[in-house]
Amino acid sequence: IAGSSSRQPPSAVSLAEVSSHDAYGVRPEMFAPLLAVVRDAAREATGGYWNADTDAAWNARLQGICAAIDRVRAPV
């Protein structure tokens, strides 16, 4: 994702995807910590290749994913 901070996060988070996670007892507040663990594992796996731009890109992407999930879950 390095260098992709200018791209918008995926907006393909659908109600069906969120609902399927609901069926397994996944609560909305669980997504951000899980995604942070994925980011941290990627950071550790890449070693010295992870830099400030990479970190900013990942953080922006994860915030975008969480925002998309929140939009899908928002009452109409």
Tens place of pLDDT for every residue, the chain, 76 residues? 444 444 544 455 666 666 677 778 888 889 899 999 999 999 999 988 999 999 999 999 999 888 888 888 777 6
Work out the burial of residue 51: count CB atoms within 10 Å of its CB; fewer than 13 is exposed, 13-18 middle, 19 or more buried: exposed
Count of Cβ atoms closer than 10 Å to residue 56 Cβ: 13
Q: How far apart are CA 54 and CA 58, in angstroms?
A: 6
Q: Are 27 and 69 in contact (CB under 8 A)?
A: no
Q: What is the pLDDT of residue 14?
A: 66
